[in-house]
Amino acid sequence: MDHVLINEGQVKIRIPPFEKVSSRAPVFYNPVMELNRDLSVLAIQQFKSEIEKGLSICDAFGGSGIRGIRYAKEVSGVEGVVINDVNPRAVALARDNSLKNGLNNITVCQKDANLILRLCKGKFNVVDIDPFGTPSPFIDSAAVNLPRNSMLAVTATDTSALCGTYPEPCIRKYGSKPLKTEYCHENGLRILAGFLSLSFARYKKFLTFKFSHSTEHYLRIYATISKGAKKTDKSLNNMGYIAYCPRCLNRQVFYGMAPLVDARCPRCEHSLRVAGPLWCGDIQDSDFISGMIEKSEKLVLNRRKDAMKLLKLCKAESKAPPTFYEIHTICSKLKISAPPLMELLDLLKAAGYMASPTHFTPTGIKTSAPLELVEELIEELVERRNINAEA
């Protein structure tokens, strides 16, 4: 069979030709995830700079081997990479691609992802779980075996469940109720983060979320693992619920696993809709993301421009409270046209509030300001623009 040559980062691999990205492809390779892999290389390189030992990485769903091969080739301080896949054709191709890139620090395995994670207890200090669909069946195997001072990277492509289009699968897979709102992709990230935290908490381990993003059809989270019963219990104080009013767009965060949640919106008395349990704490680490940006200068990234744009947005929103405001949704409710987003951000900052764009949508803002003030400033900007137009 003829193969297609792929150039990505510093590596070259061969894959079988395919018509569309699908789990039924002879060997799984997704060109759309090139940005994901660029960011993964940066994140793991930054993690390596923060620990004092070499990296032993498990790519649990190796497919063509592209991700694991890039880790072995491009991340300094990698002592070994295990590329695993249950598909024998993928295993053969990943092994061949590894050899063609001149790498001798890669082991290729053909095992179920849960089995490879269970068998190699304590062997890995980086585990990457990037399946086709939900990662939920594989998280416990990572949680039981990943040691302290290690990193977990997780991708979820079942966004229709996590973001509220189909609530029942989200409840079944993640133990959380989603909501279809203008900030539903952030809700999805927080549901995934909460699920990860609760899974690791069973083993007296807690997560620190370093970098998280929602891009195209998937959600991606990077977290470091620490250990200790008391600190794990304390970390779970970041679990909670987000209540949303579909009438006035108000939202409230309720911390705790079983908090007393208002039935009615305090602003307009409409019935509230509730999402959770989910993670209400930080999902971005400004210092970690700054390190990724700095290290990008020394790496070959095919999607450098997109990666830098995303990282800078995530860094800017790192200290923002949960959820964001979608300006067009607010303006539709107010029955006015939308003002320039940057002008609104400037007014919010001048009023003393944190305010930034968000990577979730180009028409969204993250801010510590109350919704009432956001609406007031939007109306002020629109009125000012109308006066200027009439002058």
Contact 14, 4 (CB under 8 A): yes
pLDDT, one tens digit per residue, over 126-158 is: 999 999 899 999 999 999 999 999 999 999 999
User: Residue 308 belongs to a domain with what CATH number?
Assistant: 3.40.50.150
Q: At what angle do helices 286-295 and 304-316 cross, to 10 degrees?
A: 160
Total structural domains in the chain?
2
Average pLDDT score, the chain = 94
The CA-atom distances, in angstroms, between 25 and each of 14, 18, 160 are 14, 7, 22
Structure tokens, 250: 């108000």
**Which position has the higher pLDDT, 14 or 1?**
14
Q: What is the pLDDT of residues 7-60, one digit of tens each?
A: 999 999 988 765 555 455 555 567 788 999 999 999 999 999 999 899 999 999
234 CB-near residues (< 8 Å, 6+ apart): 206
Instruction: For residues 24 and 146, state if they share a domain.
Output: yes
Query: Which residues span the domain enclosing 339?
Result: 325-390
Return the bridge partners of 155, or none.
220
Once rounded to an integer, what is the mean pLDDT over residues 269-282? Answer: 98
Instruction: Render pLDDT for 154-202 as a digit per residue (tens, 0 to 9).
Output: 999 999 999 999 999 999 999 999 999 999 999 999 999 999 999 999 9
Domain boundary among 316, 335, 360: 316
Q: What CATH number does residue 380 fall under?
A: 3.30.56.70
Reduce the DSSP state of residue 217 to 3 states and report it. coil
Question: What would the mean pLDDT of 314-338 be, rounded to a whole number?
Answer: 96
Q: Model pTM? A: 0.95
* pLDDT at 1 > cutoff 70: no
Predicted local confidence at residue 117, as pLDDT: 95
Tokens matching residue 146: 């990943």
Q: Is the pLDDT of residue 293 over 80?
A: yes
* One domain, residues 231 and 287: yes
Q: Return the pLDDT at 32.
A: 81
Indicate the residue among 316, 344, 376 that finishes a domain: 316
Regarding whether 103 and 215 lie in a shared domain, the answer is yes
pLDDT > 90: what percent of the chain? 87
pLDDT of residue 311: 98
255's CB contacts (< 8 A; 6+ apart) are: 237, 238, 239, 240, 280
**Which residues 6+ apart lie within 8 Å of 352 measured at CB?**
none
Same-domain pairing of 244 and 339 = no
Which residues, in sequence order, are CB contacts of 58 under 8 Å at separation 6+? 81, 82, 84, 116, 117, 120, 123, 124, 126, 127, 128
Neighbours of 335 (CB within 10 A): 6
One domain, residues 69 and 216: yes
Condensed to tens digits (0 to 9), the pLDDT of residues 54-85 reads: 999 999 999 889 999 999 999 999 999 999 99
Shared-domain flag, residues 126 and 255:
yes
Contacts of 275 (CB under 8 A, 6+ apart): 164, 176, 177, 178, 179, 181, 187, 191, 241, 242, 243, 244
Q: Looking at the structure, tell me whether residues 145 and 28 fall in a common domain.
A: yes
Do 250 and 364 lie in one domain? The reply is no
Coil, helix or strand at residue 10: coil
Please state the rounded mean pLDDT for residues 334-360: 97
Q: Are residues 52 and 186 in the same domain?
A: yes
Residue 358 and residue 280 share a domain: no
Alpha carbon distances (Å) from 388 to 327, 340, 383:
21, 14, 9
Half-sphere exposure of 170 (CA within 13 A, CB side): 29
Same domain, 312 and 330: no
Please tell me the distance from the alpha carbon of residue 363 to that of residue 188, in angstroms, as a whole number.
19
User: What confidence score (pLDDT) does residue 22 get?
Assistant: 47
| Structural domain ending residue among the three candidates 274, 292, 316 | 316
Query: Amino acid identity of 81?
Result: V
- Does pLDDT of 206 surpass 80? yes
Residue 296 predicted with pLDDT over 60: yes
pLDDT at 25 (0 to 100): 52
One domain for residues 45 and 164: yes
